[in-house]
Structure 1
Amino acid sequence: MTEPPRARHASPRALALLGVLPLTAFLAWGVAHAVRLAATWTGHTSDGMALPWLVSFLLLWWVPVSWLERPRSVTPAHQPALDALTVTVQVPVYNEDPHALRVCLDSVLRQSRPVQRIHVVDDGSIDDTGEPLTYADVRAEFLALTKAPGMPEVTWTRTPNRGKRHAQMAVLAADDADIFVTLDSDSVLDPEAVAEGLKPFADPKITSVAGQVLVLNHDTNPLTRMINLLYLPFTRGLRSAQSVLGRVTINSGTLAFYRGAIVRNAAGTYENETFRGRPMQMNDDSMLTFYSLLAGDTVHQPSSLVFTLAPERPRHYLRQQMRWMRGTTVRHLWWLRYMPLGGIVFWTTVSEYVHMLLGLAIPVIVLANEDLRGHADTLLASGLLIATVMSYLMALRLFTVQRTDMTTRQTLFLFALAPLAALWRTLILRPMYLYAMATCHRINRWGTRTTVEVSL
């Protein structure tokens, strides 16, 4: 089978000295300078343009906080308890590229910390002609390989197509494992992913752990290169900052770890969630994280690394984003309703919407205020400068991972493109998000593909 890529989380200390501190200092100066200019032009110090602009940048608290994240480690005294945990990996499959699935399963068997069980559930895959896609060769090869002594216990089930959550709970509801690992079928685990992902569970308060997601097909075309940067603000920005506070709100289905009791207790409810009377099968990862938040702390383990296939065509990418955005909108409503009023999750959700509203209101303020309208070019230049610095500050997170499948030259090239990613988010993703919020009731099952769309 194909040798998987390797990756290693690198210490950000050198980056903090060489990049983060200078960029942060320049960003603070730029914001202060812009706010002072806005206050001078409007003749006010407490209202006009200055206050909303200042608040909008303060709401980006997660950018500097993300740099405080460090991988969780364990002492030799705690390691035997982690080694004794029974770990089950569940892989839901739907219209996946057979070779990608083969490499995914092979990566599970290559783990330095072996897992005890692997459950593969094919949720009624079909090929381009509408006939069943059975993965007969992959299944036979995998089942034969795992018959050897010392291999994990394996099941391979095919079910009628009912959605990812049903595929997961078809086996997890009756599994008595201590830890469940949810793994997408287009994902490839780093050999240390499971060992690192289990370390946070040495703390009994932690109920779920998110792995760090890397784009596997990062150099296929301009879109996949851009996706490397577009994923950063969440996968290594907001999620990292939330992890510092122990309140990660959305794990990636690509790789996540849960205490088994959390998932088993959700059986019957999780797979039958509805929104406005319609079945809710998208955003399975955020729902499991939601259950975990209700029971304890949720964190991100940056040293538990997983590679995943990103969309290679614009239409596929935009459908994926729309599905995620609609699902996140629904989850926001759940957080505002069920999370403690004085808790971090509730108020960070509120701050996200306040930031969004300010992003819409500030241009209106500029156009409506005669003094500011006369300085619109200066304000635009200041805003672009600040946005560029912010983009590079976030893109520095690229250097916190060392990959065997990406050269330093490729990483530097991506870093140079950071402002383009910020422009993409502003011009394409932000309008899409507003549309997704207005149409969040249009939910479906898997949502991303009707046939195999990305091949390895």
Structure 2
Amino acid sequence: MPLTAFLAWGIAHAYSTVVTLTGGRQGMALPWLVSFLLLWWVPLSWLERPRTTSPQDQAELDRLTVTVQIPVYNEDPDTLRACLHSVLVQTRPVDRVRIVDDGSVHDDGTPMTYADVRAEFFERTAARGVEATWDRTPNRGKRHAQMHVLATDDADVFVTLDSDSLLDPEAIAEGLKPFADPKITSVAGQVVVLNHDANALTRMRNLLYLPFTRGLRSAQSVLRRVTINSGTLAFYRARIVRDVAGVYENEMFRGRPMQMNDDSMLTFYGLLAGDTVHQPSSLVFTLVPQRCSHYLRQQMRWMRGTTVRHLWWLRYMPPTGIVFWSAVAEYVHIVLGIAIPAAVIADPQLRANTGTLVAAGLIIGTAMSYLMALRLFTVHRTDMRLRQALLLFALAPLAAAWRTLILRPMYFYAMATCHRVNRWGTRTSVEVTHSPREQPA
């Protein structure tokens, strides 16, 4: 109740301020009010709590057969070794691990076999009684690598894990807990940056992840309608994935095969079949790009994929549901982001108050940035000192500026070129390597 009252006061105060600045013209203040309301997910995200289980439910979960699938392509061997190690030391042991090497090659074009990693992997899985497979296939993309083994696997739950990511020891145990509810079809893990201190770009990625992973996704989880899992770590009822074999890996957009954005497509299938949630206690630490060129390519792939998925939500999600309207809200937000500055420039009275309006926008934006950045302190990390976390928190407005000045224009370009699905390639060589000191405890 106090939170609701505070939000109501904030909305009313913001509205009255803009009305005053626009000379009492309430119609001119309406776009600002709508833009403010489109941030509904910010306060709602703080209501998210990890799912828990009763002893009876936990006993049922313990009986589930769990398969972890890891697609590999041009991965750093040490990173892959660390990834596999993190799977095998889970407090809730998995039943199967299925590796599919999607035709990895060295820079000179010769096959990358991972012979040492593979031998060690089979030795350790045999000692633990874990069923393991390691296949090599021609390079066809991540979706084909996944379905190469999952289409015929009879497990109860599939876990998709990227080969450049390391699981927290409790990740599997925590990620399975929401499945105690039979309505839940998919669970997103919480993604945390592993190489956070490599350079300025990776430090900023800590902040850039938060508005989505612990902002919008957390808010959607409260409503049980998470729209995009991270392929980095996600859990699915296996029947959902098996049922779309042959369709999922052959998705087309404007007559062209679409291999990227696999995570959002699997989440989409989960949404069609039931409820989708986020489990913030299921942690995965992932390597992020350390070079701007790698980072920008990754962002462009994600943005184009999100654009396509928005169209899918508008077409297939019920118009009475939150997923449909979240897609509408995204487009409204984009339009207002263009229309409001245009209105200020075009109207003499608004133009006279430009400085005040910009200052108000900066204050609100800064406050929102710091509210989201507080999420940095919800994960205790032995590889990040308090001083580092406080410095990142202090720099939160810089990440907001990056999103506004760099990522937003990129998003416009991605929307205009989303049909270029044939250009959504993956890395052609090893781009990020793992250092043992980056291993979080």
Deviation at 1:31, TM superposition (A): 5.9
Deviation at 1:382, TM superposition (A): 1.0
Deviation at 1:151, TM superposition (A): 2.5
Cα distance in 2 for partners of 1:391, 1:23 equals 19
Cα distance in 2 for partners of 1:228, 1:43 equals 41
Give the structure 1 partner of residue 74 of structure 2. Answer: 95
Match of 1:47 among 27, 36, 49: 27
Deviates more, 1:402-411 or 1:170-179: 402-411
Cα distance in 2 for partners of 1:346, 1:168 equals 28
User: 1 or 2 for the larger relative contact order (CA 8 Å, sep ≥6)?
Assistant: 1
The residue correspondences of 1:348-427 to structure 2 (distance < 5 A) are 348-427=326-405
Cα distance in 2 for partners of 1:392, 1:296 equals 34
User: Are 2:209 and 1:251 aligned?
Assistant: no
Deviates more, 1:21-30 or 1:319-328: 21-30
Task: Say what the alpha-carbon RMSD is for the aligned residues.
Answer: 1.8
Match of 2:172 among 194, 210, 218: 194
Deviation at 1:448, TM superposition (A): 3.7
Match of 1:57 among 23, 36, 49: 36
Cα distance in 2 for partners of 1:210, 1:196 equals 11
Give the structure 2 partner of residue 341 of structure 1. Answer: 319
Cα distance in 2 for partners of 1:25, 1:122 equals 54
The residue correspondences of 1:246-325 to structure 2 (distance < 5 A) are 246-325=224-303
Q: Which amino acid is 2:16 matched to? A: R
Deviation at 1:444, TM superposition (A): 3.7
SS state at 2:69 partner: strand
Tell me the percent identity. 76
Per-residue CA deviations over 1:351-384 (Å, capped at 9, x if unaligned) read 1111111111110011111101011111111111
Give the structure 2 partner of residue 38 of structure 1. Answer: 18
Q: Which amino acid is 2:351 matched to? A: R
* Number of positions where the alignment pairs a residue of Structure 1 with one of Structure 2: 434
Cα distance in 1 for partners of 2:407, 2:152 equals 40
Match of 1:70 among 21, 43, 49: 49
Q: Which amino acid is 2:65 matched to? A: T
CA 1:100 to 1:445, structure 2 compared with 1: closer, same or farther past 3 Å?
farther
Cα distance in 1 for partners of 2:88, 2:277 equals 25
Give the structure 1 partner of residue 93 of structure 2. Answer: 114
SS state at 1:125 partner: coil
CA 1:186 to 1:306, structure 2 compared with 1: closer, same or farther past 3 Å?
same
Deviation at 1:244, TM superposition (A): 0.1
The residue correspondences of 1:125-140 to structure 2 (distance < 5 A) are 125-140=104-119
Give the structure 1 partner of residue 192 of structure 2. Answer: 214
Cα distance in 1 for partners of 2:33, 2:5 equals 16
SS state at 1:68 partner: coil
Deviates more, 1:39-48 or 1:328-337: 39-48
CA 1:299 to 1:437, structure 2 compared with 1: closer, same or farther past 3 Å?
same
Q: Which amino acid is 1:85 matched to? A: L
Q: Which amino acid is 1:195 matched to? A: A
Q: Which amino acid is 1:210 matched to? A: A
Deviation at 1:34, TM superposition (A): 4.7
The residue correspondences of 1:6-17 to structure 2 (distance < 5 A) are none
Match of 2:63 among 77, 81, 84: 84
Superposition TM-score, scaled by structure 2 size: 0.95
- Asked if the contact 1:311–1:317 (Cα under 8 Å) also holds between the matched residues in 2, the reply is yes
**Structure 2 gaps, min length 5:** 435-441
Match of 1:104 among 76, 83, 104: 83
User: Are 2:208 and 1:230 aligned?
Assistant: yes
Deviation at 1:446, TM superposition (A): 6.1
- Asked if the contact 1:208–1:258 (Cα under 8 Å) also holds between the matched residues in 2, the reply is yes
- Asked if the contact 1:323–1:448 (Cα under 8 Å) also holds between the matched residues in 2, the reply is no
Per-residue CA deviations over 1:319-353 (Å, capped at 9, x if unaligned) read 00000000010001000000011111001110111
Deviation at 1:26, TM superposition (A): 8.9
Cα distance in 2 for partners of 1:379, 1:33 equals 14
The residue correspondences of 1:163-202 to structure 2 (distance < 5 A) are 163-202=141-180
Per-residue CA deviations over 1:19-43 (Å, capped at 9, x if unaligned) read xx99999987776555323322433
Cα distance in 1 for partners of 2:168, 2:189 equals 11
- Asked if the contact 1:31–1:386 (Cα under 8 Å) also holds between the matched residues in 2, the reply is no
- Asked if the contact 1:34–1:382 (Cα under 8 Å) also holds between the matched residues in 2, the reply is no
- Asked if the contact 1:86–1:116 (Cα under 8 Å) also holds between the matched residues in 2, the reply is yes
Give the structure 2 partner of residue 144 of structure 1. Answer: 123
Per-residue CA deviations over 1:31-86 (Å, capped at 9, x if unaligned) read 655532332243344301x1101110111000000000000000011111000000
Deviation at 1:421, TM superposition (A): 0.3
CA 1:156 to 1:280, structure 2 compared with 1: closer, same or farther past 3 Å?
same
CA 1:147 to 1:37, structure 2 compared with 1: closer, same or farther past 3 Å?
closer
**Structure 1 gaps, min length 5:** 1-20
Q: Which amino acid is 1:87 matched to? A: V
Q: Which amino acid is 1:40 matched to? A: T
Cα distance in 2 for partners of 1:363, 1:28 equals 25
Cα distance in 2 for partners of 1:26, 1:221 equals 39
Superposition TM-score, scaled by structure 1 size: 0.92
- Asked if the contact 1:34–1:379 (Cα under 8 Å) also holds between the matched residues in 2, the reply is no
CA 1:445 to 1:105, structure 2 compared with 1: closer, same or farther past 3 Å?
farther
Per-residue CA deviations over 1:65-116 (Å, capped at 9, x if unaligned) read 0000000000011111000000000000011111000000000000000000
